Structure 1
Amino acid sequence: MRESYAGKKEADIAVRRAFMLRYQGVCLTELLAEIREKNHENIT
C-alpha cells in the first residue's frame, strides 16, 4: 500500500513538473514577444 502510494506520488510530481515547465515555456515566449514589441516601439 505504502509503496504504490509513493509511486503514485512520484508520478504526480513528474506530471506536475512537466506541466509547469511547459507553462513556463509558454509564459517565456509570450514575455519575449512583449519585450520585442516594446523594443520595436522604442526604436521607431
Structure 2
Amino acid sequence: DRNNTINIKYNSTLDNTKLDAYVRACDEALLSRDGYRKLAAVES
C-alpha cells in the first residue's frame, strides 16, 4: 500500500468552481493515467 500526497498552492481569489476542478483532477490522478490531462484541461 502506497500513500500519495498532492500539495496545491493556489491564489485565494481563484473561484471555487475552478478550485473544485483542481481537487477532483488531483483525486482522479491517483486512480488513473488521464489525471494529468484532466488537470491540464482545467488550466486551459
Q: Same fold (TM over 0.5)?
A: no
Class of the TM-score when normalised by the shorter of the 2 chains: 0.3 to 0.5
TM-score (norm 1): 0.40
Which has the greater radius of gyration?
A: 1
Larger helix proportion of the pair: 1
TM-score (norm 2): 0.40
